[in-house]
Structure 1
Amino acid sequence: MKKTPRWARWIVPLALLIVWLGIGGTLGPYAGKLGEVATNDQAAFLPRNAESTQALEARKAFETSPSIPAIIVWTANGNPVTSEQQEAATRAVTALVGKPGVAAPPSPAFLSADGRALQAVVPLATNLGEEIPAVLEEVRQAAQQVTATTVQIAGPAASQADLADAFAGIDGLLLGVALGAVLLILLLVYRSVLLPLVIIISAVFALGLACAVVYALADRGAVRVDGQVQGILSILVIGAATDYALLLAARFREELARQDDRTKAAVAAVRRSAGAITASAATVALGLLALLASDLTNNRALGPVGAIGIACSVLTTLTFLPAALVVLGRAAYWPATPKPADATAEGHNVWRRIAAMINRAPRRVWMSTALLLAVLAGFSSTLSSKGVPLDEIFVNEAPSVSAQQTLARHFPGGSGNPAVIITNVGKAAEVRAAAESTDGVAAVTPVTATGRPGTGDPLVVDGRVRLDATLDAAADSDAAKETIQRLRDEVHALPGAEALVGGYTAQQYDTQQTAARDRTVIVPIVLGIILLILIALLRSVLVPVLLVATVALNFLATLGVSALVFEHLLGFTGTDASVPLYGFVFLVALGVDYNIFLMSRVREEALTHGTRQGVLRGLITTGGVITSAGVVLAATFAALMVIPLAFLVQIAFIVAFGVLLDTLVVRSLLVPALVIDIGPRAWWPSALARPMAPHVPDSAPLLGDSKP
């Protein structure tokens, strides 16, 4: 057979490198452009079919022009507000009429019941985007003309400005922190100069391609992106691309230790690792796509965006990285250059000792680790996911939160965020009376022809009227949500009213209920998807069931630890309603990754050496690389903590801690010990379940160890 010319074997690697350099140079800038097509309008991420969403659509007809309220609060430094100050406040906001960004005439300034604060509402245009901080600053300057008072701005407009500030520079800051952490870890672990740089470049190329695809789809309205999705995409791609690259690079190193031909080594590395990498990617991508079954728009948005990122990560790992490794050869690992040897006999001493410990007492190991996880899982029920109070949305001090707290001290708790009731005009009086008699409702005011709540005849649009109900309790409190339930019961009971109850509190309540529904639907779908992929990869039923059970236990243990940390260390009273679902999808899908990497290698070794030796050899040969991958992924998700939002800080902790727990305990101890204890039956119903299937007896010594 004629040998392939040396020059011919370089064509494909060089061509792939040229293609990826072109992709990186052309599409790389899109990693910093997603903000152009991102929206942080929280109204766009409500439950699609909830009553509050229907009310939001219906209330638009009562707005003379679309607006978002900015609520100005004046306090007289602990002193009673004078009539002169009240008149000056009204003049100040009246002067804002016609100013850029002001959508309608502001309300007059009115006095609080305790006489120590003033409040006025300035309706701002909804399409201000990045200009909203500048418009709010102009509003603030006008309000500061009232002498001897402190001015603060609350309401949805102020919250939107603080969100924009929190996400400002997210592309550069988040990407820099994540890549810096990954590079540092790789340099410390692998003590190689070029390999970490090649892996980082591979991850950056994957991110650039993913962001370009998402940008094109978002620009055409095919997918929706907000700051949270944008941040998670960056972290997910960097973490996944690095994980897959580490697995392939480790396999390439093994092959180089067996043979001198770098091209054949790369081909063998791709062939032997592609199954585990693609199966791992499929679990994450399909798990994310399961979010399409959610009724929350932001959950649905993350599904396809995240799946695109995972697909791009796999693409760079199986094309760019092998080409780069072929070109670099052994130099990629310098100064720790692999030397010709029996790669199967290699393994870090730490992992040899761990394997020996498991080999001596597998039942004791898996029972003790399972008990530890079960104890931690017992605290998971204490994690509250009823939503994050307004004063905890931002990790640091946010002006809108301070203003809302001031507002709540001097006005009814629900001031600025009333419950909105849309009903038929013929039943308006009855609905108003029913609402006013509802426990927890402070006042009910119709929207008049001015487009604002006030006295006079209500504005009638298509036979419907709008009533604003101010609640006694703070709009983000559990008491307010309970009031919404009572209010709905009262107005729904009126025949012919066809009343809808919406507003901020109703939206929070509906989101909470929808998130609970999503968990009951999506969790079984994700588990089913992962189970089917594992069955196809491992050609077994029992092992996949065990793996799914262990990662589910790891998830519950992580929630238990998170409940303790959030309450006692970080001071959170609860989590966003979607946090447990996000944590589940990421942890279960990503946690199965490491078990896939381990068990696919175990199966490969078991075909030759038997189940016990297959587990021990698989653990030793993959222990270092999988642990490195877990630490890298934990570090990349931890980078989300640089964004001062409780939601992302909570997700970052859950995923980072859960990945480390899975990598260091579940994959390293629980799974290997459990499979050894069960023995060949773990592979049922495949041929490996038969004791005589392996070519070498199951009692073969552990990689040359004298003990069986």
Structure 2
Amino acid sequence: MEILSQDEGGVGSASVGHDPVVPPGRPGPRRRRRGRLWGVPWVVLGGWVLVVLVAGMFAAKLGDVQRNEAVDYLPANAESTQVARIQGGLPGGDAMDVQIVYRRDGGLTPADREAAAAGIADVVARHPLVGGSGPAAQESVDHTTLRYALSVDRRGAEPDDIVPDIRTLVERHPDGLSVRVGGPGGITADMQEVFASIDGTLMLASVLVVAVLLMLTYRSPYLWIVPLVCAGVAVAVATATVYGLVRAFGITVTGQSSGVLTVLVFGAGTDYALLLVARYREELRVHERPLEAMFAALRGCGPAVLASSGTVVVGLLCLTAADLNSSRGMGPVGAVGVVCALAVMTTLLPAILVLLGRRVFWPFVPVFGSTPKLGRGAYARIGTAVSRRPIAVLVAGVVLLGAGALTAFGLPGALRQSDGFTKKPESIVAQETLSAAFPEQSGAPIAVLARSERAAGVLAAVGSTAGVEHVRQGRTADGWTEILAFAKDRPESAGEHATIERLRAVPDARVGGPTAQQMDTAHTTARDRRVVVPLVLLAVLLVLIVLLRSLVAPLILVAAVGLVWAASLGLGGLVFEHGFGYAGVDAQTPLLTFVFLVALGVDYGIFLMHRVREMALRGDSVRIAAPAALETTGGVIASAGFVLAATFSVLALLPLVSLVELGFVVAVGVLIDTFLVRTFLVTAASVALDRWIWWPGPLSRRPARGTTGTRPVQPPVSSRKMAV
């Protein structure tokens, strides 16, 4: 592909307007200014090459600092989190509890018991245990299942290293005898294995999805490569930046937030690229030189892109007010990703496009001096239809969204830990086997901590608490004593929840363990919604007010995306329960989908209303400007919505229910916002309110030309000759 200079007029470069006549040998002021600016794209490109070289040295290291322990996903101030931290400092605090389960449906044979004992001996010989010699086997009443509970010393090793080795050591057994490794250690190892594959899977899937959609959008053999390469640069720079923040400030990065970072940068970055390229194409029709056209495009759509990214950044930073560690850590991680995407798409992308010249659009090259064909597209017809009956369209849309929002009140219950995988790994199968074979006891003990001087009284009180089968004293150190209480009811059942509540009423006792952690997480996410949701709404509203110089338009946009979120969440709940067969909704899903949908979904309203305001500043009536702006921006916003929805739907490829639910709700919400809210509702509300949409700003008091109907879209505001 031939690289064109920024001074080349390109195809059809007939001159319109000339520089003032100056004496021979003396360049005019405009040409002198162009001469000073011709090297800007090369400087920008060279600067980004250096940045990428530096970022490449650190981007791959982010996986080394990810934290996927249970504490990293727990509420920061919850009682169960405090218990987990104290347990980590007790003797054997680095221990990893593993349960090895042998089962034969027809009943265990003597050979089965011998094979199980031999396998456990191999495990103990290779992996030292905390607390003494090898464990005794516990056999079920029906003599089909053997259970070995091991507390493995994990100092210097991670669960995803130890557990696979244990599974290898116990895999030798007679035919017909199954053996599975579970327990907290097994679940952690399976979770870490999933997170280890997230980054590569999401990167590859995101690249493929974005590449296909860009090719369909641009219908050019070259153009789609440029935004895709820039998105890849943004991901690399964002990953390296997050790694630096972890090292400098100790922020928590989990596998979940790292995966969302990749999707967010590809989705948001490609959206910004689509908007800029579309505006650049317009400006190439009225500017002879690509550099001038790019400056005009940046000036025209820059405020909308900046406000769009600002809403996402501000919305994500509101997550720092959350108490749940994983949610709070996702805020700065996502914000860094959006800032990096914005920086790349407003500097590197324009530089490359200018250097390549207008022929990068081949075969649909925007000819200098030409005018686009208007008034015959789908969005022109929609704009005309909406402008004729705006009230009817608005009422119908609100009723439709409201009906969908009502389904959010019927969401299935909270997701249990055992139901967190789309395909059950070995650890979950082991847990289900234990629950069926030993229904009289919980699979994991309830951890109770007490000050050592009061431990005897707490131990007695815990043992006499209703719902507790038996208790035993564990470790003691640093003034704390651990008490392990085994519930009569199944893990994560309503009965075990009630038992934990009664134990928390015991004086001087602090209660933790897996089920207590689940309870605290559910309680904390409810608290976080009450705190974060108003913050997000207020922050996004303020950004919109600054951009649009209005109060009415921002309120309409925020209310619309709020309805979209509720409708998408309700629809998601129905699909999760009756379509996917999931047992519940992850506790974080409502809050995270709200933040993403409000922050990202309002972008399309920004793109539309910014163009309406741009035309209103020329003196057009909103009744004319709104349909015309819809026609101008409809195609590019539709493409952006498809790209963003597709990138978030990539999360459905992962085997974690929480990420599948997050991706599904956000993808559905983006599509609803793109094709219903922005296309029909916002346009109808603008036409119905006319200049009052800008109240109390000055545009609400300015007389406008034209009151009804539509007209061909004028060239961009920047169509006048620019002194670059």
Settle same-fold status: TM greater than 0.5.
yes
1:647 aligns with 2:650: no
**What's the TM-score once normalised by structure 1's chain length?**
0.91
Shift of 1:430: 4.4
Partner of 1:589: 599
Query: 3-state SS of the aligned residue for 1:260?
Result: coil
User: Secondary structure of 1:346's match?
Assistant: coil
Looking at structure 2, the residues matched to 222 and 109 of structure 1 have their Cα atoms a distance apart, in angstroms, of 43
- Tell me the distance in 1 between the aligned counterparts of 2:488 and 2:337: 46
Q: Is the 8 A contact 2:390 2:687 kept in 1?
A: yes
The verdict on how the C-alpha distance between 1:529 and 1:348 changes in structure 2, with shifts beyond 3 A counting, is farther
Point out the more displaced range, 116-125 or 661-670.
Answer: 116-125
Which of 421, 427, 430 aligns to 1:400? It is 427
Q: Which residue is equivalent to 1:697? A: 706
Structure 2 regions of 5+ residues with no counterpart?
1-27, 715-724
The Cα of 1:220 is off from its aligned counterpart by 4.2
CA distance in 2, matches of 1:214, 1:338: 39
The change in CA–CA distance for 1:375 and 1:242 in structure 2 (over 3 A counts) is same
Contact 1:421 1:501 in 2 (8 A): yes
In 2, distance between residues paired with 1:127 and 1:632? 45
In structure 1, what is the equivalent of residue 582 of structure 2?
Answer: 572
Give 3-state SS (helix, strand or coil) of 1:465's partner: strand
The count of aligned residue pairs is: 684
CA distance in structure 2 between the aligned counterparts of 1:125 and 1:478, rounded to whole angstroms: 33
Amino acid of the residue matched to residue 525 of structure 1? Answer: L
Q: Which amino acid aligns with 2:493?
A: S
Is residue 2:370 matched to residue 1:329?
no
Q: Is contact 1:237-1:309 (8 Å) kept? A: yes
Partner of 2:79: 51
CA distance in 2, matches of 1:700, 1:378: 36
Report what 1:292 is aligned to.
320
**1:195 corresponds to 2:206:** no
Contact 1:86 1:111 (8 Å CA) reproduced: no
Partner residue in 1 for 2:631: 620
Partner of 1:236: 264
Per the alignment, residue 516 of structure 1 pairs with 526
Partner of 2:472: 445
Distance 1:516 1:343, change over 3 A: farther
Q: 2:543 aligns with which of 526, 533, 537?
A: 533
Of 34-43 and 400-409, deviating more is 34-43
Q: Are 1:461 and 2:472 an aligned pair? A: no
Offset at 1:332? 2.1
Cα distance change on mapping 1:224 and 1:127 into 2, 3 Å: farther
1:461-500 → structure 2 map (5 Å cutoff): 461-489=477-505, 491-492=506-507, 498-500=508-510
Residue 443 (structure 1) shift = 2.3
CA distance in 1, matches of 2:128, 2:55: 35
Give me the whole-angstrom Cα distance separating, in 1, the residues matched to 2:617 and 2:709.
13
Asked if structure 2 preserves the Cα contact closer than 8 Å seen for 1:178 and 1:636, the reply is yes
Is residue 122–residue 169 contact of structure 2 (8 Å, CA) maintained in 1? no
What is the Cα deviation at residue 519 of structure 1?
A: 0.3
The answer to whether the 8 Å contact 1:344/1:617 transfers is no
Give the 5 Å matches for 1:325-364: 325-340=353-368, 346=374, 349-364=377-392
Distance in 2, matches of 1:13 and 1:75, equals 68
User: Aligned in 2, Cα 1:39/1:558: closer, same or farther, shift over 3 Å?
Assistant: same
Matching residue's letter, 1:96: V
Q: Would you say the 8 A contact 2:621–2:690 is kept in 1? A: no
Q: Is the 8 A contact 1:86 1:109 kept in 2?
A: no
Q: What is the CA distance between 1:103 and its match in structure 2?
A: 5.2
Q: 1:597 to 1:348 in 2, by over 3 A?
A: farther
> TM-score w.r.t. structure 2 length?
0.89
Distance 1:488 1:114 in 2: 35
Instruction: List runs of 5+ in structure 1 lacking aligned partners.
Output: 452-459, 493-497
1:554 pairs with 2:572 = no
Match for residue 211 of structure 1 among 239, 243, 250: 239
- Cα distance in 1 between the residues matched to 2:442 and 2:566: 39
- The aligned counterpart of 1:262 is 290
> Within 1, Cα distance between the matches of 2:531 and 2:441?
33
1:687·1:693 contact (CA, 8 Å) conserved in 2? Answer: no
- Structure 2 CA distance for aligned equivalents of residues 3 and 25 of structure 1: 36
Tell me by how many angstroms 1:100 deviates: 4.6
Asked whether the 8 Å contact 1:181–1:635 carries over to 2, the reply is: yes
Shift of 1:229: 0.9
Cα RMSD after superposing both structures: 2.4
SS at match of 1:3: helix
> Take 1:480 and 1:194, find their aligned partners in 2: how far apart are those partners?
61
Q: Are the structure 2 counterparts of residues 27 and 567 from structure 1 closer, same or farther at C-alpha, using a change threshold of 3 Å? A: same
Other-structure match for 2:681: 670
Q: Deviations over 1:156-178 (max 9, x none)?
A: 11112211222233332211111
Q: 1:128-167 residue pairs with structure 2 within 5 A?
A: 132-133=160-161, 135-138=163-166, 140-142=168-170, 144=172, 149-167=177-195
Amino acid at match of 1:67: A
Using a 3 Å threshold, how does the CA distance of structure 1 residues 412 and 89 change in structure 2: closer, same or farther?
A: same
Query: CA–CA distance in 1 between the matches of 2:199 and 2:81?
Result: 31
**Is 1:275 the equivalent of 2:285?**
no
- In the alignment, the residues of structure 2 paired with residue 652 and residue 127 of structure 1 have an alpha-carbon distance, to the nearest angstrom, of 36
Matched, 1:411 2:457: no
Shift of 1:622: 0.5
Does the CA contact (< 8 Å) of 1:93 and 1:142 recur in 2?
A: yes
Residues of 2 paired with 1:186 and 1:354: CA distance? 24
Segment of structure 1 superposing worse, 620-629 or 48-57: 48-57
1:96 match: secondary structure? helix
Alpha-carbon distance in structure 2 between the residues aligned to 1:125 and 1:25: 41
* C-alpha distance after superposition, 1:572-625 (max 9, x if no partner): 121111111110000010001111111111111122211111111111111010
CA distance in 2, matches of 1:351, 1:700: 14
- In 2, distance between residues paired with 1:704 and 1:629? 21
Corresponding residue number in structure 1 for 2:20: none
- Percent identical: 39
| CA–CA separation in structure 1 for the residues paired with 2:268 and 2:713 | 35
Residue pair 1:435, 1:469 contacting (<8 A) in 2 also: yes
For 1:13-56, what per-residue CA distance to the aligned partner results, in whole angstroms no more than 9, with x for missing partners? Answer: 11111222333344246554421221221222211111111212
Preserved contact between residue 347 and residue 621 of structure 1 (Cα < 8 Å):
no
Say whether the 8 Å CA contact 1:85–1:147 is kept in structure 2. Answer: no
What is the alpha-carbon distance in structure 2 between the residues aligned to residue 348 and residue 201 of structure 1?
Answer: 34
Asked if the contact 1:124/1:157 (under 8 Å) is kept, the reply is no
Distance, in Å, in 1 between the alignment partners of 2:320 and 2:83 is 24
Give distance in 2, aligned partners of 1:613 and 1:391. Answer: 56
Tell me, yes or no, if structure 1 residue 685 matches structure 2 residue 696.
yes
- The question of whether the paired residues in 2 share the 8 Å contact of 1:348 and 1:624 is answered with no
Deviation string 1:630-681 (CA, Å, 9 cap, x unpaired) is 1000111111122111011000101111101110101111111012112211
Q: Say if 2:416 is the partner of 1:389.
A: yes
1:93–1:108 contact (8 Å) kept in structure 2 = no
- Looking at structure 1, the residues matched to 624 and 535 of structure 2 have their Cα atoms a distance apart, in angstroms, of 34
> Does the 8 Å contact 2:412/2:577 carry over to 1?
no
Judged with a 3 Å threshold, the aligned counterparts in structure 2 of structure 1 residues 463 and 191 are, in CA distance, closer, same or farther, namely: closer
| Residue 722 of structure 2: aligned partner | none
Q: Secondary structure, in 3 states, of the residue corresponding to 1:476?
A: coil
User: 2-side partners of 1:175 and 1:463: how far apart?
Assistant: 48
Superposed displacement of residue 442, structure 1 = 2.6
CA distance in 2, matches of 1:108, 1:146: 20
355-364 or 214-223, which moves further after superposition?
Answer: 214-223
8 A Cα contact 2:287 2:293, kept in partner: yes
